[in-house]
Amino acid sequence: MAFSSDTHRLRLAVRYVVLCLIAVIFVFPLVFMVVSSLKPDQQLLADTASLRAFLPVGDISLDNYWAAFRRAPVALFVMNSVIITGVTVALSLFFCSTAAFAFVFVNWKGRDLILSIILATLIVPFETIAIPLLLISSKLPWIGLDGVTVGWLNSYRVQIIPFIVDGLTVFLFVQFFKDLPSELIEAARVEGASWFQIYRRIVMPLSGPVLATAAILKFLAMYNQYLWPLMVVQEEGYRPVMVGLQYFFQLNRAWGEIMAYLSLITVPVLAFYLYLQKAFIASIASTGVKG
Amino acid sequence: MKHLSIVTGALLASVALTSVAQAQTTLSMWYHGAGNEGEAKVLNQIITDFNASQADWTVELQSFPQAAYNDSVVAGALAGNLPDILDVDGPVMPNWAWAGYMQPLQIDETKIANFLPGPKGMWDGKLYSIGLWDAAVALVTRKSTLEELGLRTPTLAEPWSLEEFNGAMAAAKASGKYEYALDLGMAWTGEWYPYAFSPFLQSFGGDMVDRSSYKTAEGALNGDAAMAFGNWWQGLFTQGYAQATQDPADRDNGFGAGKYAFSWNGNWAALGALKAFDDTVFLPAPNFGAGAKIGAASWQFGVSAKSAHPDGASAFIEFALQDKYLADFANTTGLIPATATAAAMTENYKDGGPLSVFYGMTEANALVRPVTPGYVVESKVFEKALADIANGADVAGTLDAATDEINADIEKNAGYGH
C-alpha cells in the first residue's frame, strides 16, 4: 500500500512539474510584455539578453503608459474594438445558432445544399473577397439620422455586419446541435411548442459549451481585425486597436510604449476569457445535472 | 437699448463669421504621420496658419499610421474615396500618378528652383509631388574607432574606395572588439532595403532597372557590375562582417552598446548616435567605382486625381513650402530641410550644426530610386533577392531570377507607360 501511495505521489509531483513548466512557457511572453512596459527603452533592450527581461527590476515606472496615451487615442481604439467585437459576437451567436437550428432540426427543401455552400466558404480566405467586399460596401445605402446616405465606409457597421455570419460558427453550432437528444425536440413539438420556443427554451440552455467556444473564436477573430478596418476606415474615430498599434511603429521605435499599448489592449481579451471560463464551466455543470 | 445693441452686434458678428466659414471650401487631407507627435504638431500649425491666411479654403487633416498608409490610399482609390491632398513616399509617386490616383500640381515651379532634387516628385515631365524634406544615409562610426583601426577619415570629395571599405571591415573584425564590423540594418525590412542598399549596387555601376528605357532590368540587375555587387554583398556575411538576420533590438541599440564598429543608418537616427558617443562621426557613402551614391526622396505632398479643388489643394501645398515650415519640420524630426536657406535656419543643419554633413551628402551623392510605376514591384523583388543572397543563395541565379521577375512585371503592365 505504502509503495502504491508513494508512486501515486511521485506521479502527481511529476505531473505538476510538467504542467507548471508548460504554464510558464505560456505565461512568459505575457510577463515579458507587462514587465517591459514598465522599463525605459535602453534598459528594456539591454535586459532582453538576460532573465532580467522577465523581472520588474531597474528603472521601473508608468512613463511608457503616459507616453502611449499621448501618442495615440488608446481609450478610443479600445472602446471601438470592444463595441465592434461585442456587437459582432452577440449578433453572430444569435444568427449563426438560429441558422444552425434550421439546418439541424427543421426539414426544408435544399437544406443540405445550402449548408454545403455555407461550409464551402470556410476554404475561401478573406483576402480574396476583401476587394469585392470593399467595392460593395462603398456603394451600399444606409438610413440613419442624416437620412439616406450612400457608402458604409468610416462607420462601425462596415466593421460589424459583414462578419456577423460565417461558415465556421455555423458549422460549430450544427455539429453541437446534431449531438443533442432528438427526443427532447420531438417531445416539445408534441407538446405544441413553436420552433422559436424550442430554440430559446430547450436548445439554447443546453448550448453553453458551443456558445462559449464560438464566442471565444469570434471574439479573437474580430479583436485582431487589421486588414479590413485598414481598408474601410479612414477616420481615426472608428479605428480599432490593431490599426492603432501601427501608431507606435515609427522609424525610431518606442518599444516600451509598444509594450504598454499591448498590455492595455490585452486587458479586454483577458477579461472576456475569464468571464467565459466561468460561463463555460457553469454550462457544463448545469448540462450534466439535466442530463 | 444698450442691451439691444449688444445683442444686435453679436448677431451681426456671428452671421458675418458664419458667412466667412460657409464661404470656405473644405479640403480633405491624408497624412502618414499618425503617432508622430512632432510631425503632427508642425503639420497642424501649417494647417492652422493656412486656414487663417485666406478665406477660400479650410484644410481638414486625417492622419494614418505610416505602416498602414499606402494600403489605406490604395483601398481609398478603389472605393473612390480619396481626399483632396495626400502625401506620398517619393519612389511610390510615379505608380500612383500612373494608376490615376494623383494629378499634377498647379504650383509655380520657380518657387521650388532652390529645392534639393530629391523632394521634387517628377513623373512624365510634370511635377506631381513636392517634399518639405529629404533623408540621407551615412556610415556612422566613432572618431576613436577610426583612430584605433588606423583608418583614413573619408570625405565627400574623397570617399572610401571599395578596397578601403573592405579594409575597414577587415580591420574592425580583426580588432576583436566588436560582435560584427557593420550594422547594415538587416532587421528593417521593406523599403529600407532598396533605399539603403540599392545605392551600393548603383555605386558598382548596376541598378534595379535600366533607367535609359525603364522597360527591362536586363544588364542592370544581372550584368557584370551587378554580379560584382552581389558577390561583394554576400561576402559581407560569409566573411562575418555583418549578420544576415538581425534582432531589431540590435538595430536600435547595437551601435550605442558597442556591438558594431560601423552602422549604415539614416539621419533620423543621427541625434541618437550623437547622444550615445560624443565622438560620433558620419562618414559619406563609399565609392565602389561608379561614384558614391545614397538614396533620395522621402514623403511628399500631392493632389489626388479625384480632387474637385486642385487649385485649393495646390495653394495649400505651396503655402507649406515656406522656409520656416521646412525648418520647423527639420528641427522636430531631424530630417533634412529641402532648401539651403531653410537649413541655415535650423540648429542641426546650419553651418557647423551637428547634422550639417547630411545636407552635403544629399547635395553631392543623392540619387532618386528608379522613377517608374514599376518601382513598387521592383523594390520588393530587389529586397527578396538581397535577403536571399545574404542568406547564401547563388548570386548569379538569384539576380537572373530577379531580373526575369521584374521584366515579366513590366511586360504584364505594358511598359508602365514608358
The gap from C-alpha B77 to its chain's centroid, in whole angstroms, comes to: 23
**Eight-state DSSP code of residue B124:** T
Residue B190 forms contact with A (CB below 8 Å): no
Pairing of strands B57-63, A141-144: unpaired
Size of interface A-B (CB pairs under 8 A): 81
Segment B84-108 mean pLDDT: 96
What percentage of chain A exceeds 90 in pLDDT?
74
Q: Where are the alpha helices (DSSP H) in chain A?
A: 2-36, 41-47, 63-71, 74-105, 111-120, 126-137, 157-160, 167-178, 182-190, 195-198, 208-223, 227-232, 241-245, 255-290
Query: What DSSP element (H or E) covers A142?
Result: strand A141-144
pLDDT score for B1:
46
Which sign does the torsion angle of CA A256, A261, A267, A272 carry? negative
CB contact under 8 A, A246 and B67: yes
- Is the ipTM reported for this complex over the cut 0.85? no
pLDDT digits (tens, 9 = 90+) for B215-256: 999 999 999 999 999 999 999 999 999 999 998 889 988 999
Chain B residue closest in CA terms to A247:
B35
Q: Is the pLDDT assigned to residue B298 strictly greater than 70?
A: yes
Rounded CA-CA distance A137/A150 in Å is: 9
Looking at the complex, report in whole angstroms how far the Cα of residue B109 sits from the nearest Cα belonging to chain A: 31
CB contact under 8 A, B37 and A230: no
Distances (CA, A) of B271 to A5, A173, A250, A267, B296: 68, 58, 15, 36, 20
pLDDT digits (tens, 9 = 90+) for B332-344: 888 999 999 999 9
pLDDT score for B18:
47
Of A46, A47, A11, nearest to A31 by C-alpha is A47
Whether domain A74-241 has CATH 1.10.10.10: the reply is no
Q: pLDDT band for position B17 (50/70/90)?
A: very low
Segment B69-90 mean pLDDT: 94
pLDDT, chain A, mean: 90
Interface of B with A in 242-261 (CB under 8 A): 247-249, 252-253, 257
Selecting from B34, B257, B269 the residue whose C-beta is nearest the C-beta of A247 gives B34
**Eight-state DSSP code of residue A150:** E
Selecting from A70, A134, A255 the residue whose C-beta is nearest the C-beta of B37 gives A70
- Percent helix / strand / coil, chain B, rounded to 5: 50, 15, 35
Written as nine digits, the cell of B385 is 533577392
Class of domain B137-295+374-417: alpha beta
pLDDT score for B24:
85
pLDDT score for B333:
84
pLDDT score for A132:
94
pLDDT digits (tens, 9 = 90+) for B385-416: 999 999 999 999 999 999 999 999 999 999 99
pLDDT score for A285:
54
> Which residues on B lie below 8 Å from A72 (Cβ)?
34-35
Selecting from A45, A234, A255 the residue whose C-beta is nearest the C-beta of B76 gives A234
CB contact under 8 A, B80 and A138: yes
pLDDT digits (tens, 9 = 90+) for A262-278: 999 999 988 888 888 77
Q: Is the pLDDT assigned to residue B140 strictly greater than 70?
A: yes
User: Which residues pair with residue B286 across a beta bridge?
Assistant: none
pLDDT score for B22:
54
Selecting from A138, A251, A255 the residue whose C-beta is nearest the C-beta of B81 gives A138
Instruction: Choose the CATH number for B26-134+298-367 among 3.30.1330.30, 3.40.190.10, 3.40.50.970, 3.40.50.620.
Output: 3.40.190.10
Give the lowest-confidence range in B56-60, B267-271, B324-328: B267-271
Segment B369-375 mean pLDDT: 96
pLDDT digits (tens, 9 = 90+) for A203-221: 999 998 899 889 989 999 9
pLDDT score for B3:
54
Rounded CA-CA distance B339/B343 in Å is: 6
Q: Is the pLDDT assigned to residue A251 strictly greater than 80?
A: no
**Eight-state DSSP code of residue B372:** S
* Domain pair B26-134+298-367 / B137-295+374-417, same fold: yes
pLDDT score for A2:
56
pLDDT score for A128:
92
CB contact under 8 A, A231 and B62: no
What percentage of chain B exceeds 70 in pLDDT?
94
Residue B60 forms contact with A (CB below 8 Å): no
> Which residues on B lie below 8 Å from A151 (Cβ)?
79, 81
Chain A interface, best mutation among B30, B60, B61, B66, by max A CB count within 10 A: B66
Q: Is the pLDDT assigned to residue A287 strictly greater than 70?
A: no
Looking at the complex, report in whole angstroms how far the Cα of residue B213 sits from the nearest Cα belonging to chain A: 33
> Which residues on A lie below 8 Å from B272 (Cβ)?
252
pLDDT score for A70:
93
Q: Is the pLDDT assigned to residue B21 strictly greater than 50?
A: no
CB contact under 8 A, A46 and B62: no
Q: pLDDT band for position B131 (50/70/90)?
A: very high
Angle, CA A137 vertex, CA A136 and CA A140 arms, to 5°: 85
CB contact under 8 A, B78 and A41: no
Domain regions of chain B by residue span? 26-134+298-367, 137-295+374-417
Looking at the complex, report in whole angstroms how far the Cα of residue B360 sits from the nearest Cα belonging to chain A: 22
pLDDT, chain B, mean: 93
Is the backbone of residue B179 left (phi > 0), alpha (psi -120 to 50) or beta? alpha
